[in-house]
Amino acid sequence: MRAQPGWAEASRRLSPYLDPAIGIVAAALALASLLATDLDSIDSRLKDPNVVSAVATVAAAGALAWRRSRPAASFAVMVTGSLVVSLSGHYIGLLSVLMLFSLYSLAAHGRRRDGLIGLGVGVLCFVGLALLDVPDLGT
């Protein structure tokens, strides 16, 4: 069964707006996750959100806005923002899930080896954070 011509046309027209919309929604949800979570119920060592953690969260999640056009840059911003949040002792929240989405985008839309490099970077970051015993690593 063939797709409807109207659907194909709508998909083509909306495609340039999809990734920016994903970035905006991801940034809003990640920021809400950072600001609205009861930190003591997760880990008593977590610090209350501040400007640095909020900006890093929004920048990291918002980088999904260029997940297909610049997948390596998007992943690099995601990793950097997530590290800033984690290393400063704040709640990473939804960024951990969005990191997987960013890694998928890197593998699907980047060069062939980029996905493996991204996976290696993710594992190294996780091991490094575990060795530093940062709060909220279970997320």
pTM: 0.86
Each residue of 67-126: pLDDT tens digit?
999 999 999 999 999 999 999 999 998 999 999 999 999 999 999 899 999 999 999 999
Query: Which amino acid, one-letter code, is at 30?
Result: A
Query: Which amino acid, one-letter code, is at 38?
Result: D
Is the pLDDT score of 54 beyond 90?
yes
For the residues 24-29, what does the mean pLDDT come to?
97
φ and ψ at 105, to 5 degrees?
A: -60, -40
Instruction: Report CA-CA distances (Å) from 118 to 43, 46, 76.
Output: 28, 27, 9
CA pair distance 39, 31, nearest whole angstrom: 14
